[in-house]
Structure 1
Amino acid sequence: MAIVSVIIPAFNTEKTISETIISVLEQKFEFFELIIINADSTDSTLKVISNFKDSRLQVFSYPKANVAVNRNRGLHHSTGEFITFLDGDDLWTSDKLETQYKALLENPETAIAYSWTHCIDERGQFLRTCSTIAVTGNVYPHLLLEDFIGNGSNVMIRRDAFMSVGGFDELLTNAQDSDLLLRLAACYQFVAVPKVQVLYRVQTNSMSADVWKLETACLQVLERAFNQAPESLQYLKPYCLANLYKYLLYRTLEGQPERHKSRIAVKFLISTLRTDPYIFFKRVIFKVFLKLAVIILLPSQYAHVMFSKLKRVFNTSTLLGYIQTDPFSLKN
């Protein structure tokens, strides 16, 4: 029986799934099973997977469904005492399983281990560092304020803890990871592995409509979380909303300059200024206005050239630097 179950949901991942599988099979920790849930892929995903001959790898095909459903399907086939998930376009460093497993063994009072993440582009090139928060123990206030773990390819969870909270909410089509982590954090302690072990691939051609859906799902998850959170943590809600809109504004402006993004970006800019008026006086807001003006006024090909040549001028990633991360510094 495997000690760790690795679950990969895959839908039309022919371009990336091979590299993802290799990053699992090359783990220093060998006592795992790799379960791939093929969600009715219409490309050559299954053919690519069939090139791997490893007894630890199993593939199960199902009708197309959202990520939450497919991860829960993977759990149904798993046998490991510890569960971890990996998206079909993300990567792990070779010590990810080993160090997270060791962290959980050395801290038996904890149920979830997490690491740090680098964002990479579609070609695997480094884009930026994600959160480097390393909180161990009760991380619930921190997660209410900000999802510093950041993606579904990160955590390792004790099976009994995962089962006790009911797995992923299959009705959510976005923010499933944040929802699960909040429910876990309300009941269990976390342990940090303070090193980069997850390479999260950012798809720059993602549809702007997905950002609308992300906003809706995040607001739903946060409303649910704060309805259940104790009175002593309710003061975090306005800061959490401000953090959300800074992130959504950044997400909308990153990637290719597309004119139809401008309407969405303006909406999120207004929400950002409404939830955190002080950011109006920061230099990054000038960059946001400038970037929006270029997107609106210039054809996308010219805007792309300008952004490429003047990266520092149009770099709005510093929005993320104004996300509040310390819940205790905000308490009156």
Structure 2
Amino acid sequence: MSTTAPVAGTSPRVSVVMTCYNEGPFIGAAVRSVTDQTRADLVDKIVIADDGSAPETIAVLRELEAADRRVEVLYGTGGNGISRQRNLAIARTSTPFVAILDGDDLWTPDKIETELPLIEADPQVGLVYSDFYLFADGDLSSAHLAKALDITGAADLAKAYFQVDPPIVPSTTILRRAVLDEVGGFDPSVKVFEDTDLFNRLARVCRFAFTPKPLLYKRVRRSSITGSNRDLMAQHAFVAFRAAAADPRLMPLVPARLAERASKLANSRFLTGDYEEAVALARLALRLDPLSLRSWLSRVATAPVMRPIVGRMASVAGRRKALGVQDPAGGGSGR
């Protein structure tokens, strides 16, 4: 593991916050993707908030602490959830910028070198994000590009993010501490899509920056798909109505936003063979937004006549890649 010394004339300006729950097989590589950065000298601390992992993962975390003085592990007893854990980790840092990295994701070596200048250059920018790669768990060679939409030029960023949700993957972001403090950090009352909730709030108080360069390898694990379809739609609705309650201009946009989420979930469930739920979700999308082309395409794509066609594709992973399904949870971190 690299212990890169600071370059003359520079000082650490970014801290990395990570969460962990039984991610022992992955978190070592995640930390190394930070310490091996081309500008690792700009990293002050790597704070890992553990939420009551099993002994095997705890042993890995202790090894990481011993290997690099910048690594600090907060050993929790469990049950906090990702929002509280991220807030605890952020509270242990003092740099003007904070980067998020999930314990099973990997940064490209130039992540900090590419993004930090973008957020430092403009005091109105509170968040920078990027494109990313998706790869099947255990097979980095399967990585394929997942493009995010650039909404940074929108005149009304809060409305643009609510409507489009690029997606912004937390592990691609660097955040300005001042605006993170201004909006109160992650909200522990949001159990799923806590990142979407945060970004909705940030979009009301700052600008975003974007680089089309993919700076993250995001691991796709079945265990990272949270809850049932109905649970996920309920969580999507919870986050959407929270945003609209804070900004009433968004209320008329809620049905279209939820229809888009239902369509994504329908397509994902169809590709993994859950046909009954796929059809139900596609129908829900049409009820929410009957004028949406996406909703109609989802309804057609999940029709029974399409099952033999999808069945002839080589594998679930191949189907997902071929049809561009990025996140089974339909947005956000999917954790």
Q: Name the TM-score class by shorter chain.
A: 0.7 to 0.9
Count of residues paired in the alignment: 306
Matched, 1:288 2:302: yes
Per the TM alignment, residue 43 of structure 1 is displaced from its structure 2 partner at its CA by: 4.6
- 1:155 correspondence with 2:173: yes
1:42 equivalent to 2:30? Answer: no
On the 8 A contact 1:85/1:153 being kept in 2, the answer is yes
2:236 is aligned with 1:218: yes
2:6 is aligned to none
Contact 2:236–2:258 under 8 Å retained in 1: no
**Percent of aligned pairs sharing the same letter:** 24
With over 3 angstroms needed to count, the CA separation of the structure-2 counterparts of 1:248 and 1:109, relative to structure 1, is same
2:18 to 4, 8, 17: 8
Matched residue SS, 2:114: helix
Contact 2:283 2:299 in 1 (8 A): no
Q: Distance in 1 between matches of 2:141 and 2:181?
A: 36
Query: In the superposition, relative to structure 1, how do residues 313 and 110 fare at CA in structure 2: closer, same or farther (>3 Å)?
Result: closer
TM-score normalised over the length of structure 1: 0.81
Asked if 1 retains the 8 angstrom alpha-carbon contact of 2:229 and 2:265, the reply is yes
Give the drift of 1:17.
1.0
Q: Structure 2 vs 1, CA of residues 309 and 103 (structure 1 numbering), >3 Å: closer, same or farther?
A: closer
Shift of 1:9: 0.3
Instruction: Give 1:328's aligned residue.
Output: none
Equivalent position to 2:247, from 229, 232, 237:
229
Conserved? CA contact 2:226–2:232, under 8 Å:
no
| Cα separation, 2, equivalents of 1:252 and 1:21 | 32
Q: Which of 134, 143, 149 is the aligned partner of 1:133?
A: 149
**Displacement of 1:222 after TM fit?**
0.4
Report the residue type matching 2:49 in the other structure.
I
| Residues 1:61 and 2:82 aligned together | no
Alignment partner of 1:119 out of 109, 124, 134? 134
For residues 287-312 of structure 1, the C-alpha deviation after alignment (integer angstroms, 9 at most, x for no partner) is 42248856xxxxxxxx98x5426998
Query: Cα deviations across residues 160-208 of structure 1 (Å, max 9, x unaligned)?
Result: 1101111111011101000000000011111112211122211135567
SS at match of 1:195: coil
Moved more, 182-191 or 128-137: 128-137
Deviation, 1:70, is 0.6
Structure 2 distance, partners of 1:151, 1:119, is 11
1:102 to 98, 112, 117: 117
1:169 to 174, 178, 187: 187
RMSD: 3.0
Q: Are positions 1:317 and 2:306 aligned together?
A: no
| Structure 1 SS opposite 2:213 | strand
Kindly indicate whether the alpha-carbon contact (under 8 Å) linking 1:82 and 1:157 is maintained by their aligned counterparts in 2: yes
- Report how far residue 67 of structure 1 moved: 0.7
Maintained 8 Å contact 1:91/1:199: yes
Partner residue, 1:326: none
**Partner Cα distance (1:183, 1:56) in 2:** 30
291 and 54 in structure 1: CA distance in 2 versus 1, 3 angstrom threshold: farther
Pairing 1:245–2:262 present: yes
**Aligned counterparts of 1:130 and 1:93: Cα–Cα separation in 2:** 14
One-letter code aligned to 2:201: R
The 5-angstrom pairing of residues 195-210 of structure 1 reads 195-206=213-224, 209-210=227-228
Deviations 1:46-97 (A, max 9, x none): 2223333111111110121211111011012112111111111111111111
Contact 2:119 2:125 in 1 (8 A): yes
Partner Cα separation in structure 2 for residue 37 and residue 205 of structure 1: 20
In structure 1, the partner of 2:332 is: none
Query: Moved runs in structure 1, 4+ residues, more than 6 A?
Result: 309-316
Supply the distance in 2 between the matched residues of 1:82 and 1:252 (Cα, whole angstroms). 38
**How much has 1:119 moved relative to structure 2?**
1.6
Aligned amino acid, residue 161 of structure 1: V
The answer to whether the 8 A contact 2:143-2:217 is kept is no
In structure 2, the partner of 1:84 is 99
The answer to whether the 8 Å contact 2:20/2:102 transfers is: yes
Structure 1: tracts of 5 or more residues without a match? 295-302, 321-332
| 1:266 counterpart = 2:283 | no
Q: Structure 2: 5+ residue runs without aligned partners?
A: 1-10, 327-335
| C-alpha separation in 2, matches of 1:8 and 1:95 | 18
CA, structure 1 residues 314+209, in 2 after alignment: closer, same or farther (shift >3 Å)? closer
Amino acid of the structure 2 residue aligned with 1:71: R
Residue of structure 2 equivalent to 1:31: 42
What's 1:142 paired with?
A: 160
Judging changes above 3 Å, is the alpha-carbon distance between structure 1 residues 95 and 224 closer, same or farther for their aligned structure 2 residues? same
